[in-house]
Homo-oligomer: A and B are copies of this chain.
Amino acid sequence: MKKIELNWKTGHSAELGTAPDRMVAARVPGNANLDWALATGMPDWKRGTGFEEYRWTENCWWLYEAQLPKCELRQGEQVFLVTEGIDYQYRIELDGKLLCEHEGMFSRQEIPLPASGGEVLRIWIAPVPKYPLGIKDTREEAAQCTKPAASYGWDWHPRLIPVGLWQDTYLEIRGASYIQDIQVDYELANDFSSADVTFTVNVHGEGDLSCIIYDAQGEAVARGQCVIRTTEDSEHKIKMTVNNPKLWWCNGYGEPNLYKYGVELAPIGTAAESYSGTIGFRTIALTMNEGAWEEPKEFPMGPSPAPITITLNGVPVFAKGSNWVNPEVFTGTITRETYEPLIKLAHQANFNILRCWGGSIINKKPFFELCDSCGILVWQEFMLSCNNYVGTKEYLRLLEQEAVAIIKKLKGHACIALWCGGNELFNNWSKMTNQSAALRLLDKLCYEHDPKRPYLMTSPLHGMAHGYYTFRYPDGREVFQVMPSAHHTAYTEFGVPSISCAETCGETADREQLFPLVKNAVTIAHHAFGAWGDAAWSYLDIINDYFGKAGSLEDLIEWSQWMQGEGYRCIFEEARRQKPYCSMAVNWCFNEPWPTLANNSLINYPATPKKSYQAVADACRSKKMSARIPKFTWRGGEQFTVDLWLLNDGCESVAAGEAAVSVELRGEVYALQTWKYGEAAANTNIEGPTLRFNLPEFDAGEGGELAALNSSGSERKKGTRHELKLKIEAGELSAEYCLLFFE
């Protein structure tokens, strides 16, 4: 099989069939509107309000054009046009003759072509779909299509809708015999002592077919083969057993062991074609959270909460991670290199899960390969988010086509923990229900094509929760007060925003435009204001309340990322303290598709970790000391209280030991107490003592730099601000918290 890249040009036109006035070079995979912008000198979409100049690109027809080369074919060979995905609705013509009409960017196409050369291949991409429901220029326009809703505008995504040949699209010369499809399934023995593997291989033509599984050292551990002597299409199930397979584990629970497989078809007289992939042997299930069967307690009695504990190889996992969004606005430009640093950061943050949120794209293959090899579980949603995707016949047909393509393409990845219909569909901003045909259809398709993998209609389900997205709630409570009183099986979204890193801010506008940080077209566009209510995501009022007036953008960045870090640390650790009733903490969000000025993300575009990223990475260590702290801001003379915990996720116990607790304030270290803790069993926390300490009183400093709120959000007190560091020293388990203190 030989792959031939084409030289693509692109241009736009008001109507289908009308030749564009100009054609420019097109990158494939890529996005036509970005190619056009680069070639014609349109404003930088990342800077200021430059992206608004791209609005017209939603509404025209985009044409991709390439001339076919002459292909010298041997006996039985055939040329195919192959595309892994075109965004979004398109028709393919050859010399003006229609070859295919298609809607949907996630389904692969293979179209036989002539080999004579010189013909012109044209792909016409229609204006982006806009369902005329509700208000114009909102996500609701995506409510009857399978295009990700985020690009229609979100509180962290500009309204900027990519189109084009966003995935590999090329010519392929195939011999008389070739492999059409490979599906690998396996059944693990109950005691994990062996795996019965079945390769289902669809072959066109004849040849000797062999399948081999290799271990990490490259040793073949199982093989099977068959001789195919038909010139028709045929399907072959080749079975083999891998004994004592090394299981695939997620980060923090073991190694993400992968086996490599090779499938080779050797036709008579021509070179063999070979394909490879990986297998990670594991079982996965959603099981009931401990204690959830005991709820509710009273009659009249409802059902128990939905199960949301990911049980991997029989071990209940505490899932720690983040919500993943498309890492580029122009999703066509995403490559393995886009994903690599981000997945590495997720791994280094001690995450074991990413929730691929339904408003974004279904990621390209390298994303899943990287998650496979890094032990990052993937919560994979279909492309429904915050809309009512009404089950019209046309929508259901489209959804089925795309969903089946997605399931078949991805089901072989060990990393995928579960399928989910989409985001927040059972809440009143979406108004879908368990009766929605789209969600019943998706359940059916997952059950048919991938029955061993869990399926959820949406997140949150009964028992789980999303939000809120500030350090301090509108009622004045901080996350320090809210989270210990929350009682949920999983926190699958929660956010604490911050202002972006200086470097990222500088991508959005000149520095002098950004301080003082005020509401204007640019700062609104980059989500510092008006993203979710007027104050989001910069929340200058909250920063000002805690820290006083900022003297520079750097002050704002430092303070807000400090709050973000301690806020996230609080929530992740509180969720972990609530284990085993709670089994998941996934913040909103991990990354971002363009440079924001403020966002709940941990990583600025494209892959710059915020200061708060470190706090989260620390909070997610498998084994660590943890403190439940009642509030962020303290004053002299108050009694400081802290509940100690030893958190232990993963498959190993923690030996007994001692933890020395101290408070550091104005350069002084005050020893509180030493906690002698016993051994923590694998996957089990220990609740420790509550420590109390009377904070020293100091003379009120001169010119205390702000009026600080106390944590109830009402009383103000003058005083000088200091860091209050709580340190729990216990070797590798040590933990540190950085709070505020006012004299």
Residues of A at the B interface (CB closer than 8 Å) are: 285-286, 288, 293-294, 299-304, 306-307, 426-428, 431, 433-435, 437, 440-441, 443-444, 447-448, 451, 454-458, 460-468, 473, 482, 486, 488, 491, 494
Q: A303-B460, A303-B464 are in contact. List 6 more A-B contacts (CB 8 A).
A: A285-B435, A286-B433, A288-B431, A300-B491, A302-B463, A307-B435
Residue of B nearest to A434 (CB): B306
Chain B residues near A456: list those with CB within 8 A: 434
**A466 CA to B299 CA in the complex, in Å?**
7
Q: With A and B bound together, what is the CA distance between A293 and B432 in angstroms?
A: 10
Interfacial chain B residues near A494, Cβ < 8 Å: 300
Question: Closest residue to A454 on the B side, CB-wise?
Answer: B435
Closest Cβ of chain B to A459, distance in Å, is 9
> Which of B301, B440, B451 is within 8 Å of A443, CB to CB?
B440
* Distance (whole angstroms) from the CB of A413 to the closest CB of chain B: 20
Give CA–CA (A307, B465) in the complex, Å: 19
Contact A303 B444, beta carbon cutoff 8 Å: no
A431 touches B301 (CB 8 A): no
Contacts of A434 in B (CB 8 A): 306-307, 456-457, 461
A-B contact pairs, 12 of them (CB 8 A): A285-B435, A299-B465, A299-B467, A299-B482, A302-B463, A303-B426, A303-B427, A303-B464, A434-B457, A437-B447, A437-B451, A440-B443
From residue A691, how far is it (CB to closest CB) to chain B in Å? 28
Q: Knowing A434-B456, A443-B440 touch, does A428 contact B304 (C-beta < 8 A)? A: yes
A303 CA to B457 CA, complexed, in Å: 11
Please state if B431 and A293 are interface contacts (CB–CB under 8 Å).
yes
Q: Decide if A440 touches B426 in the complex (CB within 8 Å).
A: no
- CB–CB B286/A435 < 8 A: yes
Find out whether the CB atom of B433 lies under 8 angstroms from the CB atom of A468.
Answer: no
Contacts of A285 in B (CB 8 A): 435
**A contacts with B: majority SS:** loop
Residue in chain B with minimal CB distance to A462: B462
Known: A294-B428, A443-B440, A447-B440. A468 touches B300 (CB 8 A): yes
B residues within 8 A CB of A467?
299-301
* CB-nearest residue of chain B to A571: B300
Tell me, rounded to whole Å, the shortest Cβ–Cβ distance linking A567 to chain B: 14
CA distance in complex: A462, B489 (Å):
15
How many angstroms between the C-alpha atoms of A285 and B436 in the bound complex? 10
Nearest chain-B residue to A491 (Cβ)? Answer: B300
Instruction: Compute how far the CA of A306 lies from the CA of B427 in the bound complex, rounded to whole angstroms.
Output: 10
Q: Contacts of A437 on B, CB cut-off 8 Å?
A: 447, 451
**Which one of A426, A458, A488 has the highest number of Cβ atoms from chain B below 10 Å of its Cβ?**
A426
- A690 shortest CB reach to chain B, Å: 25
Q: Which of B301, B304, B448, B464 contacts A302 (CB 8 A)?
A: B464
Complex contacts, A482 vs chain B, CB 8 Å? 299-300
Complex interface: chain B residues within 8 A of A464 (CB): 302-303
Q: How distant is the Cα of A293 from the Cα of B430 in the complex, in angstroms?
A: 10
Bound-state Cα–Cα, A285 to B441, Å: 17
Question: Nearest chain-B residue to A429 (Cβ)?
Answer: B293
Given contacts A293-B428, A455-B440, A456-B434, are A473 and B299 in contact (CB under 8 A)? yes
Q: Which residues of B contact A463 (CB under 8 A)?
A: 302
Contacts of A426 in B (CB 8 A): 303-304
Q: Tell whether A301 pairs with B465 under 8 Å between CB atoms, given A293-B431, A433-B306, A435-B286.
A: yes
Q: What residues on B are CB-neighbors of A473 within 8 Å? A: 299
Task: Name the one of B433, B457, B466 contacting A300, with C-beta atoms under 8 angstroms.
Answer: B466
CB distance from A577 to the nearest CB of B (A): 15
Distance of A444 Cα from B513 Cα, bound (Å)? 57
A304 to B301, CA, bound (A): 17
Cα–Cα distance between A426 and B304 once the two chains are bound (Å)? 6
Q: Which residue of B lies closest to A470 (CB)?
A: B299
Q: Are B435 and A302 in contact (CB under 8 A)?
A: no
- Residues from chain B with Cβ under 8 Å of A462 in the complex: 302-303, 462
CA distance A288 to B388 in the complex (A): 13
Q: Which residues of B contact A306 (CB under 8 A)?
A: 433-434
Bound Cα distance from A307 to B285, whole angstroms = 27
Q: Is the beta-carbon distance between A307 and B468 smaller than 8 angstroms? A: no
Give Cα A467–Cα B303 distance, bound, in whole angstroms. 12
* Chain B: minimal CB distance from A733 (Å): 28
Indicate which residue in B443, B447, B458 contacts A303 across the interface (CB closer than 8 Å): B458
| A447 in contact with B455 given A303-B461, A427-B303, A434-B461 (CB within 8 Å) | no
Report B-chain residues with C-beta under 8 Å of the C-beta of A455.
Answer: 435, 440
CA distance A463 to B301 in the complex (A): 9
A437 to B451, CA, bound (A): 8
Which B residue sits closest to A285, measured CB to CB?
Answer: B435
With CB as the reference atom, state the residue of chain B lying closest to A307.
B433
CB-CB < 8 A to A457: which residues of B? 434
Please name all residues of chain B whose beta carbon is closer than 8 Å to the beta carbon of A302 when the two chains form the complex: 460-465, 488
User: Which of chain B's residues have a CB closer than 8 A to the CB of A293?
Assistant: 428, 431
The CB with the most chain B CB atoms within 10 A, among A300, A304, A454, A460, is that of: A300
Q: Complex formed: what's the CA distance from A461 to B433 in Å?
A: 12
